[in-house]
Structures are given as structure tokens and as C-alpha cells.
Amino acid sequence: MTVVTRFAPSPTGRLHVGNVRTALANWLWAQKQGGRFWLRLDDTDAERSEEWFAVSIRDDLAWLGLHPDAEVRQSDRGTLYEARFAELVAAGRIYPAYETSQELDLKRKIQLGRGLPPVYDRAALKLTNVDRKRLEEEGVRPHWRFRLDESAPIEWDDLIRGHQRFDPATMSDPVIRRADGSWLYMLPSAIDDVDMGITHVVRGEDHVSNTAVQIQMFAAIGAAPPAFAHQALLTGAEGKLSKRLGSVGVDEFREAGIEPAAVRALLARLGTSDPVEPIVDAAELAAGFDFARFGRAPARFDEAELAQVNARIVHQLPFDAVAGRLPAGMTEEAWLAMRPNLSSVAEAADWWAVVEGPVQTATATDDRDFLTRAAALAGEIDWTGDPWHALTGALKAESGRKGKALFLPLRRALTGRDHGPDMAQLLPLIGRARAVERLYAA
């Protein structure tokens, strides 16, 4: 069996972190199994779907390195849905219902007031042909429901949650088509999964009850369901379900200087028993992806943790991978010198500005003679080897200074900062002329 997974967003908004996690899990599983990964745009909601959202979804997946093997759009598949719909109506598995939303709301309130679950009472099934004709002559257009089979429980073995069991008698027959003819999510999704040969569906645990319904839809169509894996939902760093997680998206990651590899590395391990590691190679990440390692507890997404993973990713990036994002003239030697001190690639520009100058310094009075002598020695030492240790060695011998008293005034005078990259690597980039000028100025 060739594994086929899919990511099926609706182009009604930008991808957020939960969407990205779902896309990543489906992509990683397909990669691990040597299978295929589809992008399916669930754009049956014509009023809310917008083309620029579809473009942004493609762009975000590309930035993350999640390249689909193929793409389909539900808006192009209406003929298939109509054919399946007609078959299921003929088989008695789909039926018209005529209640208004106000009537349905009143029914639910009455049931809740009586301590009963708000399950649809199937009143529409009691209507005669004469009743239906009269309603339609009055201008009432029906919506359509899928009739659940209540003869046996709905059961499946979830790859993350284990054995699942639902009693269909406790569930309402779901509306699958509106009165205006537009489709809701459930039936087109099941039809597409069959037609596309989807073998595995990875999604959030908020879809578990939808899965129960769709398993009956697969059976009604005459197809075996795919395997399902429902991930625990994400929570915020404060430990509660966070509305903010619904807005944190790829565009925000980009603006914050987060690397796509950092997003992959963190989201692939959230909710699992595996530690989060700064894995750059997506193939390595896929090789370790295992549904058996996922737990049932909510998964904690912490932007501070993402920033930490990002820094560890940046510290691994070779010059060729970042050259296009570095300031003009910045060399590989400079990148390697600065890389250990960076939290993002963008910060390299700040340190390149330190190299090229000018820098602002404030010198303590008792350091001025020391720095004047440092300037003279900087003009005399051999710069072909290790000028930093040559300079500090000579100053230590002459002044008797050591440790912080020796190194900090020099760093401040040469860079304008108290901390930063290793001076043994940074000083050759600054060069003799600029070093002497800065030391005399300080």
C-alpha cells in the first residue's frame, strides 16, 4: 500500500500554528513511508473563500519546506459530489429536512430544558410526499441530512487515541448540504478521501466526533475508511487553551526571524515523548516520526521555546544557506565568527555594522592610558596570525592586567559592546586600521 496523506485547509484565512502542525504531521508521515502528500483546498464556502488566502497557503507551505505532490480544489469537484449525493439519496442515507434554524434552536432548548441531549428528532423522516410537496410549494427549500445507522456502535482504532467507540443514537444526523445547495464539510471531505486514495488522516482531536460520522459515510459509499490519528490540541505557554494560538501564523514566524527548520523541529515533537531537538534535516525528522510516541495530554506551544530552538538551528546553518540574507560584503569568515552569538540570521547585520563601524564608546578615565598603549601596540603587532592574543598578551605583560580588567575595556573600545562574538575571530574582521583608530578614539 502506498501511503497517501492530505492537508485540507479552507482558504478563508491565513494558516496558524495549529494548521501548520497538522500539515507537518501529514507531510512527515508521507515522507517517512515514501508516500504522497496532497494539498486539498476545501473551498466549497464560496462566500468566505478568497484566492489570496489560497496563494498564501501555498507560499507558507513552500516556506516551511512542505511541498505537496499534487493539489486539488473542492470547487472543481462538484460533479463528483452530485453523483455521490444522488446515489445516497436513492439509497435512503440522505434525506431532506425543512425546519428553519429558529425551529431547530427551539427544539434544542426544549430538549435541554427536559434534561435530554439536543439530538435531532428526525421529524423530517415522518413527512409524507404530500407534506414535502406542500412545503416546497410554499417556498420552503430543504437542507439535507445524512442518516446515521443506529444499529451498531461506530468503532475504530485511532493511531494516537487508541480504540474509539461512539453510539450513533446519541448523535444528530449531520446536515451535509444547505438549502441553497452549498456543501458543508463532512460529505465532500469523505468523498474526496475515497477518490484521492487517502490512506491516513492526521488532524486535531476536535474532529473525533466528525470522524465517527465520516466512518459511516465511507461505509455508505462502499469504501474502507483511512486510518485516523487525532492529535491533542495545542495550549499556550500559560497552560490554558489560548485564542492567540489561532492567530500565530507563518507570517508572524517570518517577521520574528524564525527559521522554517525551527518551526518543523518544534511542532514535530510537541505532544510526544521525544525531546525537542534542533534538527535541520527534514528527512531526519521524518525518520523519527511515530504516532506511538504521541500522548493524549494537550501539547504546550511556547514561543520562547521556539526562539530557543531557532537560535540552536541558526548556530548550525552553513554560509551557503544564509548568504542571500546577509548584508552585502559579509564573508563566510564573518558569518562563522558571528553565528554562535545569533538568535536569528537577521542579527548578523547588527554585528556586520559593528565590524564596519563606526562604533560609539564610553571610556572610564582609568582606562584611557591603557587604551592609548593598546592603540600603539595594535599598530605594531603581527596581524597575519592571531592579532587578538598577540595584543592582549603584550598588554598583560606590560600592564599586569588580566581577566575582565584586561579584556572588557578592549572589547568596549573595539565594538561598543560588553558582549558578543569571540574577539579572536572578530578582531581580524575589524582590521588593523579600524582597530587602531577605535582604540585611540576611546
Residue positions in the annotated binding site for ATP?
243
Residues 6+ apart with CB under 8 A from 380: none
Q: Work out the number of other CB atoms within 10 angstroms of the CB of residue 52.
A: 9
Which residue intervals of 91-224 are DSSP H helices? Answer: 101-113, 129-137, 186-195, 208-221
Cα(211)–Cα(140) distance, integer angstroms: 31
Q: Name which of 430, 426, 388 is nearest 407 in CA terms.
A: 388
Local structure of 7: helix, strand or coil: strand
Contact by Cβ (8 Å): 421, 338: yes
Cα(328)–Cα(348) distance, integer angstroms: 11
Annotation: binding site: 243
Local structure of 3: helix, strand or coil: coil
Q: Work out the number of other CB atoms within 10 angstroms of the CB of residue 362.
A: 8
Contact by Cβ (8 Å): 94, 144: yes
SS3 content of the chain, % helix, strand, coil (to 5): 50, 10, 35
DSSP bridge pairs for 308:
none
Using a CB cutoff of 8 Å and minimum separation of 24, what contacts does 416-420 make? 416/354, 416/359, 416/360, 416/361, 417/354, 419/341, 420/341, 420/351, 420/354
Phi, psi of 144 (to 5 degrees): -125, 135
Q: How far is CA 52 from the centre of its chain?
A: 19
Using a CB cutoff of 8 Å and minimum separation of 24, what contacts does 348-353 make? 348/322, 351/420, 351/421, 351/426, 352/326, 352/327, 353/327
